[in-house]
Chain A
Amino acid sequence: MPSEPLFCQRFKIHGRDFVDAGKASITIKGILREIGIDPALIRRAAIASYEAEMNVVLYACKGVMELRVTPKDIRVTVEDEGPGIPDIELAMQEGYSTASDEIREMGFGAGMGLSNIKKNADAFSIHSVVGKGTALEITFRL
């Protein structure tokens, strides 16, 4: 049984919106700071949620990011409506990317996003349906 969340907030993410890109993860970082989470954990959560947020901005039409804090863990989930990922195992490999030249020109798309999320999380799960979208759950233990 998952423990009752003490805190829950949702953030909308718009695909291709580079003006607001990164705002959700910055808000998440501020919330975690205010409630007294350990700075090292905040850093990991901020990096992972930023990568997840940017994946929606870069590749999907839109998405929702949710932050839940329970007495035991911090959970960030992201669900998007987008192209989906045909081969998750391949996408998880460092350096693998389907990014366009345009995305690379902006300094993204180095193929480090998903592996970076996994590296910073205590638990990570990903599900994707091609043509529909992708869902991530990133967990950090308190």
Chain B
Amino acid sequence: MRQGKAEILEDRCIDCGECARACRHNAIIPQTSSFTDFSKFRHTVALISPVLYGQFRKDTLPSTILAGVRKIGFDDACDVACASEAVSAAIDEYLASYRGPLPLLSPFCPTIVRLIQARYPSLIDLLIPIDSPMEIAARDVRNKKMKELGLRRDEIGIIYLTPCPAKMVAIKYPLRKRASHIDGAIAISDIYRPLLSALSDMNNTGHEIEESVRGMGLGWPVLGGQVSSLRAESSLAVGGLGDVERILDEIERGRLGDIQFVECQACAQGCCGGSLTVGGPYVTRGTILSLVARFGKAPCQDRAKIRELYQKRYFSLPGKISSRPFAPLDKDIAKAIEKRKRIQEAHEGLPQINCGACGAPTCLSFAEDVVLGRAQFEDCVVLTAKQARTPVGASSGLASKREVLTQ
């Protein structure tokens, strides 16, 4: 925080959304698209992650929610769960023919991919090169709409209703290809109110007698949903950045080579707990699991057809992901070591209570800010208060600290 505004160190940000979640005053609002951004399209389609179904009571069926989304202004609404089932089948195909080092990593949480780029570049090649369900669904629906409506590619607007800011960034700046198949994203939290009032006017049971949204893709947003949709014999699911880092450390040491597939999610409960949702991770999870129990068993994809598409590389992502390490304290190792030493010294002189009043999240990060010239020692309110109480003429700790640390 600088002068009342949140400042993000771009090169250290992995789009996890934790800042928005942690701020009690809602000072950090991820940039999403607004409805007016889409007026340039002749036909708009909302892409729906099953996370949205989990925001409502479990007797509100997915097809009703899709109808509600149509009612609030989209020309059509399309479910992503079915594409998730196709992607699960494609991963099964990939795992069956893969002969390289293990375990392979799920590439679908953009924050985890960014974390791997920054901190675990040696694991980049373990990310499965298969496109995400939201991209596959967007490509399918665009082709379908172009045929059905006789529209040009750029006349159709495909908008993802996103549970987290990381997916928004992934749409804007895709990693491996030039452009995403998706034209914009709206936070689930932004669409929740209008959708809720649209749904309250609708008769829940009248729309479709047989639920159109089905299949094991429904369970994808729950932590472990990917793992349980695969045929892999040995796999694990890990949620939350701290635990993910511990697992990635293990993998880097070569200790989990007997596991085929690891699903890593930045949010502890998977996409259910995305920072742009409203239902709360546990209630959302419960609702989704009950939908899986009701509609998850009947497949929505034909395995043989998926295999054929897989062989035509329909799901493949070409290109390589590059590493993006965090900037070191200095390009020169000797100078970086010197700066690190000064940071440690500065930290020792601070109250170490992580009060946050200076604007930095911890005393250690404040010490780093001081040494790197982003903040001044006087910004520490505790030290400044002590200084104010020091009698005139007595040696001031602050002044000497400043001299030592900012030479």
Which residues of A sit under 8 angstroms from B334, Cβ to Cβ? 6, 71
A46 within 8 A of B: yes
B255 within 8 A of A: yes
Which residues of A sit under 8 angstroms from B381, Cβ to Cβ? none
Contact present for A47 and B254 (CB under 8 Å): yes
Alpha-carbon distance A22/B122, docked complex (angstroms): 19
Alpha-carbon distance A6/B337, docked complex (angstroms): 7
Alpha-carbon distance A37/B194, docked complex (angstroms): 51
Chain A 1-15: CB-based contact to B (< 8 A → 1; otherwise 0): 000001100000000
Nearest-CB distance from A41 to chain B (Å)? 11
Nearest-CB distance from A68 to chain B (Å)? 11
A33 within 8 A of B: yes
- Select the residue from A6, A29, A37, A40 with max chain B CB neighbours within 10 A: A6
Alpha-carbon distance A22/B247, docked complex (angstroms): 13
Q: Which of B383-399 contact A (CB under 8 A)?
A: none
Contact present for A47 and B252 (CB under 8 Å): yes
A69's partner among B253, B325, B333 (CB-CB below 8 A) is B333
Interface extent on B, as a size class? Answer: 20 to 34
Contact present for A39 and B122 (CB under 8 Å): yes
Given contacts A39-B121, A40-B122, contact A34 B336 (CB under 8 A): yes
Which residues of A sit under 8 angstroms from B122, Cβ to Cβ? 39-40, 43
Interface size on A, residues (CB 8 A): 23
Which residues of A sit under 8 angstroms from B330, Cβ to Cβ? 35-36
Contact present for A36 and B336 (CB under 8 Å): yes
B33 within 8 A of A: no
Chain B 227-266: CB-based contact to A (< 8 A → 1; otherwise 0): 0000000000000000000000100111100000000000
Contact present for B253 and A6 (CB under 8 Å): no
Which residues of A sit under 8 angstroms from B326, Cβ to Cβ? 33
A31's partner among B119, B121, B331, B340 (CB-CB below 8 A) is B340
Contact present for A35 and B337 (CB under 8 Å): yes
Which residues of B sit under 8 angstroms from A69, Cβ to Cβ? 333, 337
Contact present for A37 and B253 (CB under 8 Å): no
Alpha-carbon distance A32/B118, docked complex (angstroms): 14
B253's partner among A31, A36, A47 (CB-CB below 8 A) is A47
- Select the residue from A36, A51, A142 with max chain B CB neighbours within 10 A: A36
Chain A 100-142: CB-based contact to B (< 8 A → 1; otherwise 0): 0000000100000000100000000000000000000000001
Which residues of A sit under 8 angstroms from B329, Cβ to Cβ? 34-36
Q: Which of A35-85 contact B (CB under 8 A)?
A: 35-37, 39-40, 43, 46-47, 50-51, 69, 71
B328 within 8 A of A: yes
> Could you tell me which A residues sit within 8 Å of B by CB distance?
6-7, 22, 26, 29, 31, 33-37, 39-40, 43, 46-47, 50-51, 69, 71, 107, 116, 142
> Could you tell me which B residues sit within 8 Å of A by CB distance?
119, 121-122, 249, 252-255, 323, 325-326, 328-334, 336-338, 340-341
A-B contact pairs, 28 of them (CB 8 A): A6-B334, A6-B337, A7-B340, A7-B341, A26-B249, A29-B249, A33-B119, A34-B329, A34-B336, A35-B329, A35-B336, A35-B337, A35-B340, A36-B329, A36-B331, A36-B332, A36-B336, A39-B121, A39-B122, A39-B323, A43-B252, A46-B252, A47-B252, A71-B333, A71-B334, A107-B255, A116-B254, A142-B333
**Given pairs A36-B331, A47-B253, 18 additional interface contacts (CB within 8 A):** A6-B333, A6-B337, A6-B338, A7-B341, A29-B249, A35-B330, A35-B336, A35-B337, A36-B330, A36-B333, A39-B121, A39-B325, A40-B121, A46-B253, A69-B333, A69-B337, A71-B333, A142-B333
